[in-house]
Structure 1
Amino acid sequence: MTAATAAGAPEVTRWWQLPAYGLLGLPLAMAALPVYVQVAPYYSALRGVGLAELGWVLFAARLCDMLQDPLLGHLVDRRRGAIARWLTLGAIVLALAFTGLWLPPADRIAATLWLGAMLVLAYSAHSMLNIAYLAWGANLGGGGPRNSAALLPAAAWREGAGLAGMVLASVVPATIIGGDLARMSDRMAVYSLAFALILLVALLALLTLAPAWPAAPRPHAHWRAALCRMAANRRFRQLLLPYFLNACSVALPATLALFFIRDQIGAASLAGAFLGCYFIAAACGLPLWSAAARRLGVLPCWRLGMALSIASFAGAGLLGAGDVLPYFAVCIAAGAALGADLALPPVLLAETLDAGDAPGAYYGVLTLLGKLAMALSGLALPLLSTLGYQPGTPGGAPMALVYAGLPCMLKLLAVAALRCVPRQLRQTTPTPHYRSTP
């Protein structure tokens, strides 16, 4: 591990350090979006929990969780010397809650309450890990103003590992959920054990091989002063609306994906293949987005990614039973666009920070907005129920509207909101290529 520089940020001097940093993105991704995609159909099939009940539980759990993120970010900034203990505690709680999530009680009502409790625990532990992890990556840019040249490679490793985690967490549980109902719980228990082992290995790699967390804590003001500093950062404020709208547009189809595949396309047995194709396309597109961002600028590339996503989901809204190959095409195009959504917004946020800003608090706000988007997406389930859709029946126009139409509208609003981003973040000045020394 390298020593921290005088400015408080580490210098990357070994080729393995950025991969070691990025590896934790794999288990964190396994416990994030794929869980939100799979938990509703899992509890519906295994315990018979109703669609409206699932939607409200998902909404309430995310709503409770998101309120703590700015506080967690502030605590990460103030307790830099104890970061290893924070990460270890978060990993232990996340592994236990993740396992409990897939092993609910037999009673339907008890299973519903259990789902809410396990989600809150898993979300809280995930937040603690993820905010510290993003703040760690933001410090790779150096002690002064952040720049894309230093941040993009770390983001690429982090999101690349995250996409690998999404592929793994999409294919395996989807295959289990679509298989033998009697063996579903046992197989998910084995999957949870594998998740815990992956999380342990990734955390050890981060703490022992990655670029060092700044050893000396920087003085940070009271949380109210930190909040005031964020509120005064105009560049940061103007990124929040497009980020939130875009996060909503991603969360809606993620929540409904398995229902759409089963009841709109009529291909439940191919759910793992569809989701795997989606995330593999994102992983393949990630280095292309990073390379394009170095040449064209981060914000223009994010805008291009949004345009590709709009075109993809507009096509998905026209699909019906038996449209397997067209839906594979939608998954490939939408997955490629996902790479831009994952890698570029954290880099844009880091570019808004000034020397002396506390990155943990900023990323806490960013994750809060992402969780609010996921919470609101849970309301799509009772909305579909109100529109007449029931799991196991053809989705029809209500499913096409909520799964494809609403995300397209939200993406268009996000593109419009990007016009308000300050001029310095809209510049397309190429950033130099980053190279680590051997």
Structure 2
Amino acid sequence: MNARWLRLDFAAYGLLGLPLAMAALPVYVHLPAFYALQLEVSLVQLGWVLFAARLFDTLQDPALGLLVDRLGQRVAPWLGAAAAVFGLAFAGMWFPPAGAAAAVAWLAAMLVLAYCAHSFLNIAYLAWGASLDGGASRTHALLGPAAWREGAGLAGIMLASAIPAAIMAGDADSVPAGMAWYSAGFALLLALALGALLQWAPAWQRNDSARAGDTPHWRQALDAMRRNRRFLRLLAPYFLNALSVSLPATLALFFIRDQLQAPDQAAGFLLAYFAAAVCGLPLWVRLAARIGTARAWRLGMLLAVTAFAGTSLLGPGDKLPYLLVCIGAGAALGADLALPPVLFAQTTKPGAGMGVHYSIYTLLGKLALACSGLTLPLLAAFGYRPGEGPSAALPALYAGLPCLFKLCALYAIWSLDEKDHP
């Protein structure tokens, strides 16, 4: 990474990415299993609660984005309050009251609180990074903080992949105590990262009208976003690319267990994937600074398709080829994480309704994640049964469909003018 990105203020900004990612994975992956297997909550009740909470989480983002725009540089106390709510709600999820009905109601309440707090923190965090302006070198001013943010996020994902899984694999009676320690560690990291952001990160830059408190009404903000053609042209490729990433993420454990028949190797494959992303991320940042952000992202998409294209041909025992797939696709993931937020930031001016803009960005990512869940009933319709071995439908949905979405995203972004998206 270039020396101009090895700045302590950029690191102070990026550190918050670690706890935000550290809490997200257990909520999506481990929490449903905890309530279903250890608390014996019915899958029907659990499914409807999770669906309703995630739908609420998706739809609330534009309102939170407008709130972020209205607060501007007064956002600091709100960030502190949101972090406190997030920490308490995350811990509370693992300590429901006795009884299935009470546990379901408790889970719904904790999810709503956690999703509200996390979404507010995330939208404000992205808007803060997008506000940075280095004058003629604004791309460099955006790439540095983005690299630190996504690198810290990947470190948080690796922590969340290893520690909760180990806790859940232990004795059932020790799970609440183990998750209590994990929650305490998460809360401490969240407090330290937020303190670093507020104390040492580059200041949130606002334009003159924003500093004067002239924040537009929500209709005006949405209308301004509608007129931002550069921003709108990025929405389709970003959503298609998000689908191409979320689909294999949803089906990876099924593919490893049934198609490769290597469930004991799952942790190693996931670790290789995320480690490759960590190693590749600074290289993508440097490449984007040299050839342009949009061009670098296109190359990342090509690498992902190249690495993933042959996955549908793999079968039982193909561990080494799949490990190479994980390394190649993980390296491409670094581009998917670091570059799209920078491209979106390049379509706006500092303070120009960035909260609303980034609320649509986060909404599309959540919508892609929700849509990826539809592959599970689709697999069932094609006759796939978990634990019964290889299936023709599984590699098609795990590898074939994501490659198709990735190629569509590549086609959609290929026409972008590099002058508009440097």
TM-score by length of 2: 0.89
Q: 2:86 aligns with which of 90, 94, 102?
A: 94
User: Which of 213, 216, 241 is the equivalent residue of 1:221?
Assistant: 216
CA displacement, residues 411-434 of structure 1 (integer Å, 9 cap, x when unaligned): 11111111343452356xxxxxxx
Q: Aligned residue for 1:136?
A: 128
Work out the CA distance in 1 between the residues paired with 2:305 and 2:159. 26
Q: What is residue 59 of structure 2 aligned with on the other side?
A: 67
Matched, 1:164 2:159: no
Question: Any stretches of 5+ residues in structure 1 without a counterpart?
Answer: 1-11, 428-438
The structure 1 residue matched to 2:315, chosen from 320, 337, 345, is 320
Distance 1:421 1:59 in 2: 35
Distance in structure 2 (CA, Å) of the matches to 1:235 and 1:391: 43
Q: Which residue of 2 aligns with 1:435?
A: none
Partner residue in 2 for 1:287 = 282
For the residue of structure 2 that corresponds to 1:322, the secondary structure is coil
* 2:343–2:421 contact (8 Å) kept in structure 1: no
Match of residue 258, structure 2, among 254, 263, 277: 263
Instruction: Give the residue type in structure 2 aligned to 1:161.
Output: A
Question: 2: distance between equivalents of 1:145 and 1:54?
Answer: 51
Which residue of structure 1 aligns with residue 180 of structure 2? 189
Deviations 1:11-48 (A, max 9, x none): x9994211111100111111235643444455554456
CA distance in 2: counterparts of 1:285 and 1:268, whole angstroms? 26
* Contact 1:174–1:272 under 8 Å retained in 2: no
| Shift of residue 109, structure 1, vs aligned partner | 6.5
Which residue in the other structure is 1:436 paired with? Answer: none
**Inter-partner Cα distance in structure 2 for 1:198 and 1:75:** 25
Tell me how far 1:171 sits from its aligned partner. 1.8
Is contact 2:133–2:205 with CA below 8 Å preserved after alignment? no
Q: Give the number of the structure with larger relative contact order, counting CA–CA contacts within 8 Å between residues 6 or more apart.
A: 1
* CA deviation vs aligned residue, 1:263-282 (integer Å, no higher than 9, x gap): 33333333332222211111
The 2-side partners of 1:85 and 1:392 are apart by 49
1:118 and 1:259 map into 2 onto residues whose CA distance is 28
Q: How has the CA–CA distance of structure 1 residues 14 and 330 changed in structure 2, closer, same or farther, with 3 Å as cutoff? A: closer
* Preserved contact between residue 308 and residue 337 of structure 1 (Cα < 8 Å): yes
Which residue of the other structure, out of 97, 112, 116, is the alignment partner of 1:120?
Answer: 112
Q: Which secondary structure does the structure 2 equivalent of 1:147 belong to?
A: helix
RMSD of aligned Cα (Å): 2.8
Please state if 1:385 is matched with 2:385. no
1:201 to 180, 192, 195: 192
Opposite residue 341 of structure 1, the aligned amino acid is D
For 1:286, give the aligned amino acid.
Answer: L
Q: Check the 8 A contact 1:37/1:256 in 2, yes or no.
A: no
Structure 2 partner of 1:6: none
Q: Distance in 2 between matches of 1:54 and 1:261?
A: 25
Q: 2:353 aligns with which of 341, 350, 358?
A: 358
Name the counterpart of 2:232. Answer: 237
Aligned counterparts of 1:40 and 1:160: Cα–Cα separation in 2: 27
| Structure 1 match to 2:305 | 310
Q: 1:135 touches 1:359 (CA, 8 Å); kept in 2?
A: yes
The secondary structure found in structure 2 opposite 1:91 is: helix
8 Å CA contact 2:147, 2:338 repeated in 1: yes
Write the distance in 2 (CA, Å) between the matches of 1:266 and 1:44.
25
Q: Which residue of 1 aligns with 2:244?
A: 249
Contact preservation (8 Å) 2:280, 2:331: yes
* Counterparts in 2 of 1:33 and 1:416: CA distance versus 1, 3 Å: farther
State whether residues 312 and 399 of structure 2, in contact with CA within 8 Å, keep that contact through their aligned partners in structure 1: yes
CA distance in structure 1 between the aligned counterparts of 2:12 and 2:282, rounded to whole angstroms: 18
1:111 positional shift:
5.3
Per-residue deviation, residues 170-224 of structure 1 (Å, max 9, x unmatched): 1222333344444334322321221111111111111112122348455221111
**What's the secondary structure of 1:424's corresponding residue?**
coil
Q: TM-score, normalised by structure 1?
A: 0.86
Alpha-carbon deviation of 1:401? 2.2
- Rounded to whole Å, the distance in 2 between the matches of 1:415 and 1:220 is 36
Deviations 1:275-304 (A, max 9, x none): 222111111000000000011111111111
2 CA distance for matches of 1:318 and 1:176? 34
Q: Which amino acid aligns with 2:253?
A: L
Residue range with higher mean Cα deviation, 260-269 or 245-254: 260-269
Confirm whether residue 334 of structure 1 aligns to residue 302 of structure 2: no
Please give the per-residue CA displacement for 1:72-129, whole angstroms capped at 9, x wherever unaligned: 1111111124311211121112112222334456766665665554333322211100
User: What is the distance in 1 between the residues matched to 2:346 and 2:369?
Assistant: 25
Is the 8 Å Cα contact of residues 49 and 108 (structure 1) preserved in structure 2?
A: yes
Which residue of structure 1 aligns with residue 20 of structure 2? 28
1:211 equivalent among 202, 212, 219: 202
Q: Distance in 1 between matches of 2:401 and 2:33?
A: 21
Greater CA deviation, 79-88 or 184-193?
Answer: 184-193
Q: Is the 8 A contact 2:86 2:118 kept in 1?
A: yes
Of residues 408, 411, 424 in structure 1, which corresponds to 2:406? 411
Deviation at 1:410, TM superposition (A): 1.1
Q: Is the 8 A contact 1:33 1:254 kept in 2?
A: no
* Contact 1:319–1:327 (Cα < 8 Å) also in 2: yes
Cα shift readout 1:332-354 (whole Å, capped 9, x = no counterpart): 11111111011000100111114
Deviation of 1:59 after TM superposition, in Å, equals 3.9
Separation of aligned partners in 2, 1:150 and 1:277: 30
Does the 8 A contact of 2:131 with 2:350 survive in 1? Answer: no
SS at match of 2:76: helix
Instruction: Give the letter for the 1:172 counterpart.
Output: I
- Provide the aligned length of Structure 1 versus Structure 2: 415
